[in-house]
Amino acid sequence: MKRLLDRWLPAYAALYIVFLYLPVLLLPIFSINTSAVPKFPLSGFTFKWYEELPRTTALLDAAWNSFIVGIAASLLATILGICAARAITRYRFPGRRPINGLIMAPLILPEIIVAVSMLLVLQRMGLGLTLFTVVLGHVLICIPYSVTVLTSGFEGFDRSLEEASADLGETAWGTFRRVTLPMMAPAIISSLLVSFTISLDDFIMAFFLAGTETTLPIYIWGQLRFAAKLPSVLALGTLLLVGSFILLTIAETLRRRAERRTHLTGVAVA
Amino acid sequence: MTAAAEGSIAYRKARQNAKPLLQSEAARGFALVSPTLAFAVVMLLVPILVVIAHSFWTQNYLTVDYTFTLEQYRIALTEPIYRDLLLRSLFISFSVSVLTVLLAYPIAYYISFHGGRHKNLWLFLITIPFWTSYLLRVMSWKVILGYNGVLNSGLLGLGIIDEPSTALLYNSSAVIITLTHAWAAFAILPIFVSLEKVDRTLIEAATDLGDGPIRSFLRVTLPLSMTGVISALLIVMIPTVGDYVTPKLVGGKDGVMISNAIQAQFGKALNWPLGAALSVSTMLVVSAMAAASVLLLRLLVRRAR
């Protein structure tokens, strides 16, 4: 039994990875295929679908909007994430668990329900739907991820370093700026990147809250209705895939470095 | 030296005097968390309460009638179209969560127990596909399962089928396959975390005391990793019930889910109270199903021991 398991588990793991990657790898494959219909066998190699992209103004507008929304949402989500992660890892206070639960709730709630609830309130308040409302929605769904990334960076953070700084006469703000912030920097950058990626990819929030504005996923959604547009959408998707991959690799490397650094200093000081 | 000592006493006193309000740990923690909390209250808690309130009202063309009524819930739960959509959504989210957890457990087990030095690399590998555009991942499944799709042309090429099958796309199973793929990482990570916490010496002890691999798995590893299995089940089951994109792209007419109806009420149909009642009913019913699944699972695991 044990030997059977030892032999089958790696094979299963490999198969599982194939299952995970197959749909993702189809994007780049069909984006350089000459045929507009994505099917095997491939008909020939071309970059024409990519060449079309920079000439499409609607796409460029949507990309710019997504970029602005992503920057704003990731900054806000990370600032709010820092407050929450710091409060939760550093202090004990009454209501900590329910507060944490509420902040993390968007992770588990169906996104459409969160989106329509926000839509309802924003409409009731008479707030027009613009990119600003999309940013608000994205901040809400990014905070749980931001808090998760930051908490893993903050845990194991050695409090005695801050105490030492305070004892040596540094003010609270000075301690934060010169001790806490540098230690947290990798986790913070990692949170910014993860939030940006989520915002860039999010469709549901933008779909309900963007009004007449478009972001990249809304643009893609519109294009998916036309079969002939599929290859250029796949080309765009491939570019997004490469972009997210690079951002997340940086985020992961930084997060790990932050983890190692806080643990190492913890050990060194102890 | 005396001056210095006095200075430090004065300093301590000053610190102690300032303590009651801002220096107390609870107050500082609460102050720090308050911006995030305020945002979550305004953007999430209040909106959800407003939705719940709307579900007891009625839409009167362009205005809302504020008299309390349960009519919307009657429509949401008994009208055949909404009832069927809700049941189908529950069936799909239940299947997806069970399937995802079953498929994820062995891989999480493999990474935790046999991953060696490459655990982090494995986890990173598993999360990458999850970060690619959600819309395009669903689209890929449409390309795979379609009439002229990859699967059909592959099967045709291998001579397994004579003509393309139409049974692959535009039904509930297409939705289930796509969602199982989309939520894989969400199931693997919590199970992995709980497996990492399993004390390996307990398994050794079970083996030393004569339990075979299956028995020691059922009696030690599985019960100790149940928290991960349960969070994986919940984190997949509850959000997938409201998935909008997947049924719309690969579900066809037979794969429409409740979210498509909710969207219609908030969009074209402009019936907010009904949309609200559909949302609230979906949340309540899926929570009940999740709670029942967790209880059932706990019972099964206890039996297996």
Which pTM was predicted?
Answer: 0.86
Q: Report d(CA A59, CA A72) in Å as an integer.
A: 20
Q: Do B106 and A94 touch (CB under 8 A)?
A: no
**A106–B contact, CB cutoff 8 A:** yes
Compute the mean pLDDT over every residue in chain B, rounded to the nearest whole number.
86
Tokens found for residue A95: 């209501």
* Residue B11 clears pLDDT 80, i.e. is over it: no
B65 is a domain residue: no
* A24 belongs to a structural domain: no
Residue B26 clears pLDDT 90, i.e. is over it: no
Question: Rounded to a whole number, what is the distance in Å from the CA of B291 to chain A's nearest CA?
Answer: 14
Please name the residue ranges forming H helices in B59-199: 71-78, 80-114, 119-127, 134-145, 150-157, 172-182, 184-196
Q: Which residues contact A224 (CB under 8 A, 6 or more apart)?
A: A230, A233, B135, B139, B249
Number of structural domains (chain B) is 1
Taking only the tens place, the pLDDT of each residue in B121-142 is: 888 888 888 877 888 889 889 8
Nearest CB to A83 within list B35, B114, B263: B35
Q: Which residues contact B260 (CB under 8 A, 6 or more apart)?
A: B85, B244, B247, B248
Give me the percent of chain A exceeding a pLDDT of 70. Answer: 93
- C-alpha distance from B299 to closest chain A C-alpha (Å): 24
For residue B236, give its domain range. 72-304
CB contact under 8 A, B45 and A102: yes
Q: Which domain holds residue A61?
A: 57-269
Say whether B63 sits in a helix, a strand or coil: strand
Contacts of A40 in chain B (CB under 8 A): 150, 153-154, 157
Which residue of A lies nearest to B26 if distances are taken between CA atoms? A93
Residue A190 covered by a domain? yes
pLDDT digits (tens, 9 = 90+) for B144-173: 888 777 788 778 878 788 877 777 888 899
B284: domain CATH number? 1.10.3720.10
* Residue A52 included in any domain: no
Predicted confidence pLDDT, tens digits, chain A (270 residues): 566 667 788 899 999 999 999 888 888 888 888 877 777 777 788 888 888 888 889 999 999 999 999 999 999 999 999 999 989 888 888 888 999 999 999 998 999 999 999 999 998 888 888 999 999 999 999 999 999 988 887 776 677 888 888 888 888 888 888 887 887 888 888 899 889 989 998 999 999 999 889 999 999 999 988 878 888 888 998 898 888 888 888 878 887 777 676 665 544 433
pLDDT digits (tens, 9 = 90+) for A127-178: 888 999 999 999 999 999 999 988 887 776 677 888 888 888 888 888 888 8
- Kindly state whether residue A5 falls inside one of the protein's structural domains: no
Task: Provide the pLDDT confidence category of residue B1 given band limits of 50, 70 and 90.
Answer: very low
The backbone region for B57, taken as left when phi is positive above 0, alpha when psi lies in -120 to 50, beta otherwise, is beta
Q: CA of A268 to nearest chain B CA: how many angstroms apart?
A: 24
Minimal CA separation from B27 to chain A, in Å: 7
Instruction: For residue B6, tell me if it sits in a domain.
Output: no
CB-CB under 8 Å, B140 with A93: no
Please indicate, yes or no, if residue A156 is contained in any of the structural domains.
yes
Which residue among B110, B132, B286 places its CB closest to the CB of A13? B110
Distance from CA of A269 to the nearest CA of B (A): 24
Identify the residue among A2, A19, A39, A216 best suited for mutation to test binding to B, counting B beta carbons within 10 A and taking the highest. A39
Q: Which residues contact A178 (CB under 8 A, 6 or more apart)?
A: A165, A170
Q: Which two tokens stand for residue B76?
A: 């949401």
Write out pLDDT tens, residues B84-102: 999 999 999 999 999 999 9
How many structural domains are present in chain A? 1
- Report chain B residues whose CB lies below 8 A from the CB of A258: none
Chain B residue numbers with beta carbons less than 8 Å from the beta carbon of A119 are: 266
Q: Does the pLDDT of residue B21 top 60, yes or no?
A: no
Asked, for residue B268, whether it belongs to a domain, the answer is yes
Could you tell me if residue A97 is inside a domain? yes
Q: Which two tokens stand for residue A249?
A: 């690799």
Separation of first and last alpha carbons in chain A: 45
Give the residue among B303, B107, B285 at the shortest CA–CA distance from B190. B107
Partners of residue A45 on adjacent β-strands? A33
B58 backbone dihedrals φ, ψ, rounded to 5°? -130, 145
Which residue in the set A118, A241, A252 is minimally distant from B132, CB to CB? Answer: A241
Tell me the C-alpha distance between A258 and A249, whole Å: 14
Say what the pLDDT of residue B3 is.
46
Nearest CA distance, A99 vs chain B (angstrom)? 7
B32:A102 CB<8 A = no
Using an 8 Å Cβ cutoff, are B174 and B255 in contact?
Answer: yes
- B147 located within any domain: yes
The pLDDT tens digits of the residues spanning B238-293 come to: 999 999 999 999 988 888 999 999 999 988 778 889 999 999 999 999 999 999 99
**In a domain? residue A230:** yes
Which residues, at least 6 apart from B200, have a Cβ–Cβ distance to it below 8 Å? none
Nearest CA in chain B to A17: B126
Residues 205-244 of A with CB under 8 A from B: 207-208, 217, 220-221, 224, 230, 233-234, 237, 240-241, 244
- Of how many residues is chain A composed? 270
CA atoms within 13 A on the CB side of A115: 26
A26 vs B154: CB contact, 8 Å cut-off? no
CATH of the domain at A202: 1.10.3720.10
Whether B185 is in a domain gets the answer yes
- A120, B50 in Cβ contact below 8 A? yes
CB contact under 8 A, B150 and A224: no
Please answer whether residues A255 and A190 qualify as being in contact, where contact means their C-beta atoms are separated by less than 8 angstroms.
yes
CB contact under 8 A, A118 and B43: yes
Domain membership flag for residue B222: yes
Nearest CA in chain A to B260: A112
Nearest to A212 by CA among A202, A222, A224: A222
Is residue B12, in this structure, part of any structural domain at all? no
The per-residue pLDDT for A2 is: 60
Q: Are A115 and A208 in contact (CB under 8 A)?
A: yes
Q: What is the residue-averaged pLDDT of chain A?
A: 86
Lowest pLDDT segment from A49-53, B48-52, B54-58 = A49-53
The values of phi and psi at residue B64, to 5°, are -110, 130
* Nearest CA-CA distance, residue A213 and chain B, Å: 16
Q: Shortest CB distance from B131 goes to which of A22, A88, A197?
A: A197
A112 is a domain residue: yes
